[in-house]
Every structure is written in structure tokens, then in C-alpha cells.
């Protein structure tokens, strides 16, 4: 019964709700100053396309680092949307912009910025260890609340 109530609530807010998809960049090389993704990271970036291609994404955001840009590129190419840069040092301002925009968006960040941004957006989060990759955080933005879910992208 509880699931039916939750679904009914979600459906009633559908018109005024939106979703934010936040992910830390995928596996990176460790032998470069501005590292590229490893083959595993590239495979996860491709897997992200399968998860998000039907989610009515309107914007894709990424920091200007090579690893975040490479994580965002496959979904950008698949949807024909540009990758918009955001400043990781102004997460509060960026969060305000996302909240005002109210559109389904993908945000690619880092292990230290993604949890902080989730919190600023009203979601629930835990720290991401430097060795952790592949978790996609889904924030369902309802008029009165935020539902936080997570999904593993690709295989570890």
C-alpha cells in the first residue's frame, strides 16, 4: 500500500518535478596531471548513455577537467547536447542555478564536489572515497521534497 501511495504522489507531482543525475567522473589514469579515463572509465561512460538516453535530459554539465569531460562526452554525443562547464569552486551558486532551472540535467563532478553538490540541492549523500567509481545519484526534485536514489553504472 505504501508503494502505491508513493507512486500516486510522484505521479501527481510529475508536471512540476524534474530529475538531476549526478556522477563522479569514472576511472581515471594515475600517470597524468590532468588524467584521461581508463578503458574501464570509458566503458562506464558508454553505459551511462544506456541509463540516461530516455530521461528527457535538457542540460549536461561538467567541470573543465579531461576526466569529467570524457565522462560526459558519450551522453552529450548521444543526445546532441553541448557540455556546459560549471565552476567547482562555486557549488552554492551552481546549485542555485540548477534549482532555478528546474530541468532534467546530468552533472559530472569529482569525489569531493559531487556529495557537496547533492547536499546543497537538498539530497542525501555519503562521502565518495577516492577509489570509488560508478555510482550515479538520482535526485528526484519534487515541489516539497527531494528523493535521493543511486544506481551503479557498469560493472566494477
C-alpha cell at 151: 544506481
**Residue span of the structural domain in which 123 resides:** 16-152
Q: What is the pLDDT of residue 156?
A: 63
Please report whether residue 5 resides in a domain.
no
| Residue 26: CATH number of its domain | 3.40.50.1240
- Give the closest residue to 91 by CA, choosing from 70, 108, 114, 123: 114
pTM: 0.89
Taking the C-alpha atoms of residue 77 and residue 5, their distance in angstroms, rounded to an integer, is 38
CB-based contacts of 130, cutoff 8 Å, min separation 6? 111
Please report whether residue 33 resides in a domain.
yes
Q: Residue 108: enclosing H or E segment and its boundaries?
A: strand 105-109
pLDDT digits (tens, 9 = 90+) for 96-139: 999 999 999 999 999 999 999 999 999 999 999 999 999 999 99
Please report whether residue 106 resides in a domain.
yes
Please report whether residue 35 resides in a domain.
yes
pLDDT digits (tens, 9 = 90+) for 1-49: 444 445 445 554 455 899 999 999 999 999 999 999 999 999 999 999 9
Give the total number of structural domains in the chain: 1
Please report whether residue 2 resides in a domain.
no
pLDDT digits (tens, 9 = 90+) for 47-85: 999 999 999 999 999 999 999 999 999 999 999 999 999
Amino acid at each position: 500500500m505504501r508503494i502505491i501511495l508513493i507512486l500516486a504522489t510522484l505521479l501527481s507531482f510529475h508536471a512540476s518535478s524534474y530529475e538531476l543525475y549526478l556522477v563522479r567522473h569514472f576511472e581515471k589514469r594515475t600517470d597524468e596531471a590532468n588524467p584521461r579515463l581508463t578503458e574501464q572509465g570509458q566503458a562506464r561512460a558508454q553505459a551511462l548513455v544506456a541509463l540516461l538516453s530516455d530521461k528527457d535530459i535538457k542540460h549536461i554539465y561538467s567541470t573543465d577537467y579531461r576526466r569529467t569531460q570524457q565522462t560526459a562526452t558519450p551522453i552529450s554525443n548521444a543526445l546532441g547536447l553541448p557540455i556546459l562547464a560549471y565552476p567547482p569552486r562555486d557549488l552554492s551558486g551552481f546549485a542555485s542555478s540548477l534549482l532555478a532551472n528546474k530541468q532534467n540535467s546530468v552533472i559530472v563532478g569529482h569525489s569531493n564536489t559531487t556529495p557537496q553538490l547533492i547536499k546543497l540541492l537538498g539530497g542525501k549523500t555519503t562521502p565518495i572515497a577516492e577509489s570509488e567509481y560508478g555510482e550515479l545519484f538520482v535526485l528526484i526534485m519534487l515541489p516539497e521534497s527531494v528523493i535521493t536514489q543511486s544506481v551503479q553504472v557498469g560493472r566494477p
